[in-house]
Amino acid sequence: MSNIKSAFENGKAFLAFITCGDPDLETTAAAVRAAVENGADLIELGIPFSDPTAEGPVIQGANLRALTGGVTTDKIFDFVRELRRDVKVPMVFMTYANVVFSYGAERFISTCQSIEIDGLILPDLPFEEKEEFLPLCHKYGVDLISLIAPTSENRIAMIAKEAEGFLYIVSSLGVTGARSEIKTDLPSIVQVVRQHTDIPCAIGFGISTPEQARKMADISDGVIVGSAIVKLMEKHGTDAPEHVGAYVKSMKDALG
């Protein structure tokens, strides 16, 4: 059992996504610390992958810059080890199944345990194929976090029943990226989830403004923001952490 539930124990949770190594790991570390100091309850760390199918252009660009800069999975593991000396909030990795496979699933997941990574999000892993990784995640106490999309429909109950850590509810169809409005009938999705699990659910994809965050938090237990933070990293480079901190504070404040 991971530490993830603690992220949802102080009111509505703010989950911040940051791509590791964009522009470099030192700046990523400073941005993570700034986010936590300003109220982020959980950090999602993106391990760059050359073909990130769920990501829009913003996070794709961050992946490319990080990989070009020489980031590797091993370097990210060392970076998390260092972060864990003072960062105590739950942290999860978000990456792609191929990254875990090519590293060696047992080696990857056992390392997650030793560096205190609480969960793993693999957006390209179909629910029906999660047995590929689930036994190892259970063996090493790492939650395999499920995603529910607007297209999940009659699979929502099934996914919710077996959920671990928290449920990642995808707000809209398509890839990640800020949206001006979110049209999915999220209350209905959350209602089905609530009937089948008491695990917290957080909504992500497309949320970038305090107003959107407040609306989404009214429906769910927390909000996940990625592209808006990654844009700040791209725009401000090594000066980004203070901007990330201020942004996280504005979002967390909006959650009330």
User: 103-149: per-residue pLDDT in tens?
Assistant: 999 999 999 999 999 999 999 999 999 999 999 999 999 999 999 98
User: 83-116: per-residue pLDDT in tens?
Assistant: 999 999 999 999 999 999 999 999 999 999 999 9
Q: State the residue range of the domain holding 241.
A: 4-254
Total domain count for the chain?
Answer: 1
- Predicted local confidence at residue 173, as pLDDT: 66
pLDDT band per the 50, 70, 90 thresholds, residue 32? very high
- Predicted local confidence at residue 129, as pLDDT: 93
Q: How many CA within 13 A on the CB side of residue 34?
A: 23
Q: At residue 214, does pLDDT exceed 90?
A: yes
Give the pair of three-digit tokens for residue 231: 């844009």
- Distance (Å, whole) CA 200 – CA 109: 23
The whole-model pTM stands at 0.94
In this structure, what CATH number is given to the domain that contains residue 232?
3.20.20.70
